[in-house]
Amino acid sequence: MNTNSITTGDKTAVDLREQMHGLVDEYFSAAFPAREFRPGISAVPVSGRVFDADELRHLLDATLDFWLTTGRFAAEFERKFAELFGVRTAILVNSGSSANLLALACLTSERLGERQLRPGDELITVAAGFPTTVNPAIQHGLVPVFLDVQIPTYNIDASQLESALSDRTKAVMVAHTLGNPFDLDAVTGFCQRHNLWLIEDTCDAVGATYRGRPVGAFGDLATTSFYPAHQITMGEGGCVLTNRPILKTLLESFRDWGRDCWCEPGKDNTCGKRFDWQLGALPHGYDHKYTYSHIGYNLKATDMQAAVGVAQLKNCPASSKPGGRIFGRCTRAWATLKNTSYCRRRRRIPTRAGSASRSPCGPRPRLLATT
């Protein structure tokens, strides 16, 4: 639609949109004023959304477009988010849990040949973690093999990996717990030696790095979440990351009902042969856009969610800095307390270029328990 050609009186749709943008700025100042913090009185939430008028403007734009499913903002977010991680592909979905489901589901495709995950295959994960890291394996008939975690990071104890291996082991799916990168040297080395799939659950760790590279860029697949408690938010939302073209095709298929066609929503015949395919036992020329090669889902996010996500990208990696300052203040305060245990600053892992591993919001306390 050409919004420049639509008029209301002397104003075009573009004029009215700009007028509403100005009102959004006024509304944000009135509806979300800065609140005075009063030590000992004001509540301190453990997490929460961080936003300004820019998020509201983006949300307004998506609403006025009235393109209700995945659209231009989703495409923009996927491109920029992939660039942030230095990977080829980011596939936007409606939640982090859906991202985990999609990442695991795409590995069950027959197109992967001998590496296809089948019922009865084993997947190594941890016993102490979030349920939707494990649920997809159970839903697809896999056998989760639970390993213990290490305290105080609560990440996988990589020393147990070899003992967990069997002739049915096909994959490893573990999270960077609370933003702390797990031992990627040990885990990626194990997966490479035994030709296993690695899914990094990065839902808590957007912005964390390991040897100078973003976590989420090491595995065959990685997942993220945009729930309000995480580094950036869409309210609900998630993403699957990969560098592999075959996995990109499978992710899109499983996300979009199992469809074999790769046309964007609202488009068709991008392959130039929509009615000229011969697929399986279907008649030659059967409509490719309505051919389904997998038992898939509809896990797409709305463009309104994606619009908020595009605005939120300005918080990466800026959101890393306040957490580091908070950690330092807490460490100094807790050091004066007796009979208190807490996680000290993480051991730094030097890279070949001299950088280090860090969590997305600086090293954060993991255990605070009085005895």
* Neighbouring C-beta atoms of residue 274, cutoff 10 Å: 18
| Backbone torsions φ then ψ of 214, nearest 5 degrees | -65, 135
Residue 275 is given by DSSP the state: T
Burial class (CB in 10 A: 0-12, 13-18, 19+), 48: exposed
User: How far apart (Å, rounded) are the C-alpha atoms in residues 276 and 264?
Assistant: 19
- Is the CB of residue 58 less than 8 Å from the CB of residue 97? no
Burial class (CB in 10 A: 0-12, 13-18, 19+), 225: buried
- Is the CB of residue 300 less than 8 Å from the CB of residue 256? yes
58, 230, 288, 294: which one is catalytic?
230
SS3 of 221, please?
Answer: strand
**Residue 230 among the catalytic residues:** yes
SS3 of 342, please?
Answer: coil
Distances (CA, A) of 335 to 164, 165, 277, 344: 39, 42, 69, 10
Whose CA is closest to 205, among 231, 226, 170, 183?
231
Whose CA is closest to 299, among 262, 258, 246, 264?
258
Q: For residue 123, what is the enclosing H or E element?
A: strand 122-126
| Backbone torsions φ then ψ of 258, nearest 5 degrees | 90, 10
| Backbone torsions φ then ψ of 233, nearest 5 degrees | -140, 150
Distances (CA, A) of 244 to 88, 177, 248, 323: 8, 25, 6, 33
Sign of the Cα torsion 96, 99, 101, 103 reads negative
Which residues are designated catalytic? 230
